[in-house]
Amino acid sequence: MSENQQSLWQFMIEQSDKLLNQTLQHLGLTFISLFFAVLIGLPLGILIARKQKLSGSVLAFAGILQTIPSIALLGFMIPLLGIGAKPAIVALLIYALLPIIRNTYTGIVGVDPSVREAAKAMGMSAKQILFKVELPLAMPVILAGIRTATVINVGVATLASYIAAGGLGEFIFGGISLNNTNMILAGAIPAAILAIVLDGLLALIQNLNFKKLRKILIVVPVAILILSGLYLLPKAYGNSLTAGFTPEFMGRQDGDLGLKSVYGLKINTIVISDAVMYKAAFEKELDVISGYSTDGRLKAFDLTILKDDKLIFPPYYAAPIVRESSLKKFPELESVLNLLAGKITDAVMTDLNYKTDQLHQSPEKVAKDFLVSQNLFKVSKNSKGGIVRIGSKIFGEQYILAEMYKMLIQGNTNYQVATKTGLGGTKICFDALVNDQIDFYPEYTGTGLLVLLQPNAEFAKKIAHDKNQTYQYVKDEFKKKYQIKWLTPIGFNNSYALMMRRKQSKDLGVYTITDLKQYLDNNK
C-alpha cells in the first residue's frame, strides 16, 4: 500500500505539468458551462415562476435532458458542434440547467407572499420587486441549485475528454484503458477534491446571512468568470496538422510514446474517445487519428492507414481467453470456441465491422450471416444446461464476436448463454474475468502483453514484433498467473494504426509514419 501511494505520488510529480493543465481545464470547463447555465437557467426559472402554467413542461423538459446518458449526449453533439470545447460545454450546460431552473423557480415561488405584497403596496415596480425582493430572498435556494449544478459538472466534465475537450478525464480514462491505477487515481483524486472543495465553498456562501451574502454575491459572478477563463489558458496550438489519439493510445509505449521516441513525431495532439474519433477525422476536425486496423469506419469514412515502417505497433491477434475453471465446468466449450479459429481475416473483420458500424446491421445479424456463409450456423438447441457467461469490451467487433460465440455454443452444446457485453475497456473486462464474473471474452495478444502483463520494456520490445512469440508468451504467463487459457487465434490482427483521410494522404504525399514526420518537420 505504502509503495503504491508513493508511486502514485511519484506519478503525479512526474506528470505535474499535465495534471495542472488538466485540472485547470477541468475547472474552466465546469465554470464556463455553469456560467452559461446560469445565464439561461435563471431567466427561465424567473419566467416559469411568473407564468406557472409553463412550469410543468419546462421542468419536465429540463428533467428529460438530464436523464440522457452523458456519453450519448456528447455523441449527439458531434454532428452539431464537432469536437472539443464547444460540444462539451453545451453538454455540461444541459446537465447544469435543471437544478438552476428548478431552484430559481422554487426560490421565487417560495418568497413570503406578504413580503411581495408589501413591496407592491409601497409602490415598487415589477422589476424592482424582482431584483430587490424576490431574487435576493430566493438567493439561498438559487445558490443551492448552483451548488448542485457545480458538483454535477465537475463529475460530468471528466467525460469531456471523450470528445477532446480535455480535463481530468484524460487521466481517468487513459488509466482505465491502460490498466494503470496510478493514472486513474491521478485523475480521479483531484476530480473528487475539486468536487468536495467547490461543494464546501458554495455551502459556506449559501449559509451566510443576508448581510454577508450581499457582499459575496458580487464576488460569485466574478469568480465564475475568472474560473471560466482558465479553460482558455492551456491551449497552445503548434503546427499544421492535428492528431486525435485515444486516452489509451496516449499512454502506451506502442502508442504515442513510441511515436515520439522511435519516429520523433511531434504533432499537435488532442485526446478524444474512440467513439467519435473517426467521424471527427472525416469531418476534418482531425487529420491523423489512432485507429484500429480492422475498424469498419476505416472503410466508411474513406480513411487510409499510414504504414508503420519502423514497426512500433505490435501484433494484436484476437483469441478467446477462458478461465480454466470454466473449461472444466463446460468440457465442450473449448472445441466449440475453436470452431472460429483461423476463420476471420483482417479484410473480413473490417467488412463485418463496416456492416454493423455503418450499415447499422445488428451484430446478431452480421454474426449469423457470417456463420451461415461458413456453414457453421446451427439452430439453437434451446437447452437447459449450465450457463456460459460471455464478456465483451465496449466496441462493435467484440459484440460481433460475442454473438458468434453465443450462436456456436447454443447450436452445438447443451449450455445456455448469458452475454455481458459492453464491459468498458480492457481493465474492466479483464477484472470481470479474473473475478469469475464472466467465463471468457475475446482478447488481443498485444493487449495481453503490453497492458495486462506489462513485462519490462526491454523484453516486451524484443518479443512484441513476433506474432508467434507474443502469443506463446501471453499464453504461458496467463496460465501461470491467472489460470486463464488463450485458445487458438481467430485470424485477424487488429493492431493500432495511424490513419488519415485518403485524399489528404495523397495530397500531402504522406503514406508512412516517417512521411508524416517529415511533412510535419517541413511545415512548422
- List the grid coordinates of 418: 448469458
CB of 117 to another protein, least distance (A): 6
Q: Kindly state the smallest distance separating residue 49's Cβ from another protein, in Å.
A: 18
How near is the Cβ of 43 to another protein at its closest, in Å? Answer: 21
Strands laid side by side in the 416-420 sheet: 416-420, 387-391, 440-444, 318-323, 484-486
- Please tell me whether residue 375 adopts helix, strand or coil conformation: coil
Cα–Cα distance between 42 and 97 in angstroms, integer?
9
Per CB under 8 A, contacts with another protein among 205-224 are 209-211, 213-214
Give 133 or 165: the residue with its C-beta nearer to another protein: 133
Tell me which residue of 322, 324, 348 sits closest to 337, measured CA to CA: 322
Measured from the CB atom, the residue of 217 and 434 that comes closer to another protein is 217
Euclidean distance between the first and the last CA atom of the chain, given in angstroms as a whole number: 46
Taking Cα atoms as reference points, which of 331, 240, 311, 316 lies closest to residue 519? 240
Non-local (6+) Cβ contacts of 118 within 8 A are: none
- In the complex, the smallest distance separating the C-beta of residue 136 from another protein, rounded to whole angstroms, is 5
CA pair distance 349, 397, nearest whole angstrom? 8
Name the segment binding another protein (CB under 8 A); options: 122-130, 148-156, 306-314, 507-515. Answer: 122-130
Contacts of another protein in 220-249 (CB under 8 A): none
At closest approach, how far in Å is the CB of 95 from another protein?
30
Asked if 400 and 441 count as a contact pair (C-beta separation under 8 A), the reply is no
CA angle 349, 350, 353 (to 5 degrees): 85
Q: Which stretch binds another protein (CB under 8 A): 37-45, 125-133, 464-472, 499-507?
A: 125-133
| Total binding residues toward another protein, as defined by CB under 8 A | 21
Let me know how many helices (H) and strands (E) the chain has, helices first.
Answer: 26, 10
Query: Applying CB under 8 A, which of residues 9, 10, 56, 117 lies at the interface with another protein?
Result: 117
Q: Which is nearer to another protein, 39 or 118 (CB)?
A: 118
**By CB under 8 A, is residue 114 in contact with another protein?**
yes
For strands 318-323 and 484-486, give the pairing. Answer: antiparallel
The answer to whether 269 and 238 are in contact (CB under 8 A) is no
Q: What part of residues 83-112 is at the interface with another protein (CB under 8 A)?
A: 112
Instruction: State the nearest-atom distance from the C-beta of 156 to another protein, in Å.
Output: 33
Choices 59-67, 118-126, 272-280, 434-442; region in contact with another protein by CB under 8 A: 118-126
Site string for another protein, 450-489 (x = CB under 8 A): ----------------------------------------
Question: Where does this chain touch another protein (CB under 8 A) — which range of 80-88, 142-150, 204-212, 232-240?
Answer: 204-212
94 contacts 104 by C-beta, under 8 angstroms: no
Nearer to another protein, 121 or 218 (CB): 121
Q: Is the dihedral of CA 471, 473, 479, 481 positive or negative?
A: negative
Binding region for another protein (CB under 8 A) out of 92-100, 119-127, 238-246, 492-500: 119-127
CA distances from 361 to 282, 328, 354, 375, 448 (A): 21, 35, 9, 20, 30
* Binding positions for another protein, 136-165, rule CB under 8 A: 136-137
Q: How far is the CB of 141 from another protein (least distance, A)?
A: 13
Q: Which is nearer to another protein, 52 or 518 (CB)?
A: 52
From 138, 139, 147, select the one nearest 213 (Cα to Cα). 139
Gap between the Cα atoms of 195 and 202, Å rounded:
11
Q: Give me the residues that bind another protein (CB under 8 A), please.
A: 112, 114-115, 117-125, 128, 133, 136-137, 209-211, 213-214
